[in-house]
Amino acid sequence: GQNIDQPTEMTATEGAIVQINCTYQTSGFNGLFWYQQHAGEAPTFLSYNVLDGLEEKGRFSSFLSRSKGYSYLLLKELQMKDSASYLCAVMDSNYQLIWGAGTKLIIKP
């Protein structure tokens, strides 16, 4: 079966760095996406990885290792507005997204 695993909840301090991990087992791989979802709102796109390595976008970076079925999202210089759920999704061989349940990130002052 297809499976995406990520921690249910994480807590971090404003100004710090946090790493959210995602492991996956899917039928085929056509890229991995990270989305941010604030409570009561729609998911919004953060990053995309299809090749191994690190993609950096301002305060956010995403890493992929296809051989390990592993990705992480790194958030630096945390701000209170970063409190949200972070969703990991893998595009499978049928070009459909398989979604993890999301990681709720709580930022404390």
Partner 1 sequence: IAGITQAPTSQILAAGRRMTLRCTQDMRHNAMYWYRQDLGLGLRLIHYSNTAGTTGKGEVPDGYSVSRANTDDFPLTLASAVPSQTSVYFCASSDSDGGLNEQFFGPGTRLTVL
Which stretch in 16-24, 58-66, 68-76, 95-103 sits in contact with partner 1 by CB under 8 A?
95-103
Q: Are 73 and 47 in contact (CB under 8 A)?
A: yes
Closest CA to 10 of 72, 97, 98, 99: 72
- Under the criterion CB under 8 A, does residue 53 sit at the interface with partner 1? no
Smallest distance from partner 1 to CB 15, Å: 30
Q: Are 89 and 97 in contact (CB under 8 A)?
A: yes
Interacting residue ranges for partner 1, rule: CB under 8 A: 4, 31, 33, 41-45, 48, 87, 89, 91, 95-102
